[in-house]
Amino acid sequence: MSSIVLFGPPGAGKGTQAARITQTTGLPQVSTGDMLRAAVKNGTKTGIEAKKYMDAGKLVPDSIIIDLIKDRVQDPDAVKGLMFDGFPRTIPQAEALSNIIEVTHVIAINVPDERIVERICGRYSCGSCGIVYHDTFNPTKQDGVCDECGSTDMKRRADDNEDTVLQRLSAYHEQTSPLADWYDGLGILRNVNGDKAIDEITKDILIALN
């Protein structure tokens, strides 16, 4: 069993690329957020424990996340490995993961901070159908009107502002720089330029995986 770890700053396009990697490799995509929500919804032992922290507005401890992953690797679709999206975020998490499953490829999608700010702060979506737009890269054809459903209910997330994005980027760099160095020391880190067209990024990732 072998696995892929994909990481990058918020707004780097991890979700888009993760879906493409999954489609190409057949490895199921694993997001700790999705696993937490599923465990809570299903009322599993780990989910009940995690819910205590989530309801209190606290971070779920690494030990619970690791327990979720231990459960996940037992599922039939994980027999050939998994594709981790945004996990691990720290060296202790990476060390714990290495005791559960073999990570053979780590892909870091790198995007300059100023581009991340531009990407995130320009996002808005239709409140009716959920289609996501962007001031610069994907604006609506008619100002303030959804191309898909015609709604004028356009929304922006409250945390999609420059100050918040810069805080998130600072936290990301503080946590992830040591993690990248750790994986690089194992010889399995591959850096990919995420400031390119989506198809070009996918091509570079698939080359790195091969």
Is 157 a residue of the active site?
yes
Active-site annotation holder among 70, 123, 196, 203: 123
| 18, 34 contact by CB (below 8 A) | no
> 179: which 2 tokens?
């993690």
Active-site annotation holder among 168, 190, 196, 203: 168
Q: Hey, is 64 helix, strand or coil?
A: helix
Q: Crossing angle, helix 45-55 and helix 62-72, to 10 degrees?
A: 150
Active-site annotation holder among 37, 89, 196, 203: 89
| 144, 107 contact by CB (below 8 A) | no
> 86: which 2 tokens?
């945004």
Give the C-alpha separation, 24 to 206, whole Å.
8
Is 89 a residue of the active site?
yes
Give the C-alpha separation, 189 to 5, whole Å.
9
Is 168 a residue of the active site?
yes
Q: Nearest to residue 92, comparing CAs of 50, 59, 63?
A: 63
| 43, 36 contact by CB (below 8 A) | no
Residues facing 138 on adjacent strands = 134
Active site residues per annotation? 14, 89, 123, 157, 168
